[in-house]
Amino acid sequence: MKADDQLVKEQVGRLVERLDEAEGIDKDEKELIRTLNRDFEGDVGIFCTFVLNIVRLKPGEAVFLKANEPHAYLDGGAFTSQANLSA
pLDDT digits (tens, 9 = 90+) for 4-59: 999 999 999 999 999 989 898 888 899 999 999 999 999 999 999 898 888 888 88
pLDDT at 86 over 70: no
Q: Euclidean distance between the first and final Cα of the chain, in Å?
A: 37
Number of domains in the chain: 1
Amino acid at 35: T
DSSP assigned state of 57: P
The pLDDT score that the predictor gives to residue 30 is 93
SS3 77: coil
SS3 25: coil
The pLDDT score that the predictor gives to residue 78 is 65
The pLDDT score that the predictor gives to residue 61 is 87
SS3 23: coil
Give pTM, 2 decimals: 0.74
69: containing domain: 5-86
Angle at 71 between CA 66 and CA 72, to 5 degrees: 140
